[in-house]
């Protein structure tokens, strides 16, 4: 990756933690903000990390976008899986470059993009989705994150079966994951990883029972709560408000 910003590069312009803009560094483009406009041509040839000023002399930092930035800038059609839960899926499923993964449903494509980011350049994500409108939005979001070559979105109901075999992982975020457990077992390699994200305990229980009955081992469920800390001299303490619940993550590994 070049240190210097070139024509067509993605740049995250950061005013502060809460206000950022994801732009392409293009010659003829201007970004209008509430703090004045920025001529994006001025980014070309500068190093990532550098400060750039609007016509009102307000400074924005020009950062290289991360997968987290791309996810938070996605046009959302569905509830997404948030980075705190994605991180646990990545580590618990041992997702790395070269992995072949089936995922469903695609939804907005947030998890799809993250999986693609970690399996590239030699791995691949096959993502199943039943709704055409969701496929269209997800494709746009994944393309915006420059990850489309590592993803195939299939317009298919995954409860009818999984076409792929010898998979490293099957990752689910849909209403009835227990109906997919058998298909996942057939499609996975020996020792392959199963992960499912569900908002409710009822779904989690049904999925766990299906995993036990199908021959998965190392079955476990976790929930991740993230508490932000406000850091200021004399006032450093947890934020008053936090997200109380997103979903439960259930994992298993295929054994014979
Ligand atoms: C909550 S969204 C997934 C969000 C996604 N994980 C993300 O991070 O953007 C659930 C999606 O699953 C799709 N879906 C539900 N049942 C399905 C099935 N049996 N096969 C394929 N897709 C399904 C829905 O249409 C919906 O788009």
Q: pLDDT, tens digit, for every residue of 188-214?
A: 999 999 999 999 999 999 999 999 999
Q: Given this model, what pLDDT does residue 2 score?
A: 83
Cα(162) to centroid(ligand 1), Å: 15
| pLDDT, tens digit (0-9, with 9 covering 90-100), for 3-24 | 999 999 999 999 999 999 999 9
Residues of the chain above pLDDT 90, percent: 99
> What is the whole-number distance in angstroms between the Cα of residue 144 and the centre of ligand 1?
20
For residues 169 and 192, the answer to whether their CB atoms sit within 8 Å is: yes
pLDDT in tens, 21-79: 999 999 999 999 999 999 999 999 999 999 999 999 999 999 999 999 999 999 999 99
CA–centroid distance, 87 to ligand 1, in Å, is 19
Specify the ligand 1 atom closest to the Cα of 134: 27
- Predicted confidence (pLDDT) per residue in 136-157, tens digit: 999 999 999 999 999 999 999 9
Which ligand 1 atom lies nearest to the CA of residue 81?
8
From the list 51, 37, 36, the residue with the least C-alpha distance to 5 is: 51
DSSP state letters, 78-135: S----HHHHHHHHHHTT--TT-EEEEE--TTSHHHHHHHHHHTTT-EEEEEES-HHHH
For ligand 1, what atom is nearest to the CA of residue 105?
12
In this predicted structure, the answer to whether residue 1 has a pLDDT above a threshold of 90 is no
Ligand 1 site residues, Cβ closer than 6 angstroms: 78-81, 104-105, 107-111, 128-131, 134, 157-159, 173-175
> Distance from the CA of 197 to the center of ligand 1, in angstroms?
11
Residue 159 CA, ligand 1 centroid: distance in Å: 12
pLDDT 10s digits, 222-253: 999 999 999 999 999 999 999 999 999 999 99
């Amino acid at each position: 990756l070049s240190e210097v910003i070139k024509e067509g590069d993605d740049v995250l312009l950061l005013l502060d933690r809460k206000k950022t803009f994801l732009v392409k560094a293009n010659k003829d483009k201007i970004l209008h903000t509430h703090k004045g406009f920025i001529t994006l041509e001025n980014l070309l040839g500068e190093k990532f990390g550098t400060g750039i000023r609007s016509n009102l002399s307000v400074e924005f930092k020009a950062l290289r976008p991360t997968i987290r930035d791309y996810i938070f800038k996605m046009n959302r059609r569905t509830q997404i899986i948030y980075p705190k839960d994605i991180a646990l899926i990545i580590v618990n499923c041992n997702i790395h470059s070269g992995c072949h993964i089936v995922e469903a449903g695609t939804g907005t494509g947030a998890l799809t993009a993250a999986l693609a980011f970690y399996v590239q350049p030699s791995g691949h994500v096959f993502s199943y989705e039943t709704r055409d409108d969701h496929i269209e939005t997800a494709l746009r979001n994944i393309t915006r994150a420059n990850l489309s070559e590592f993803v195939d979105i299939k317009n298919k109901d995954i409860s009818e079966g999984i076409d792929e075999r010898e998979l490293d992982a099957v990752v689910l975020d849909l209403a009835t994951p227990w109906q997919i457990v058998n298909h996942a077992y057939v499609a996975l390699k020996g020792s392959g990883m199963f992960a499912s994200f569900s908002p409710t305990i009822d779904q989690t229980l049904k999925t766990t029972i299906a995993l036990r009955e199908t021959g998965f081992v190392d079955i476990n469920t976790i929930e991740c709560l993230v508490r932000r800390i406000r850091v200021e001299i004399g006032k450093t303490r947890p934020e008053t408000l936090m997200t109380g619940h997103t979903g439960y993550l259930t994992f298993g590994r295929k054994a014979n």
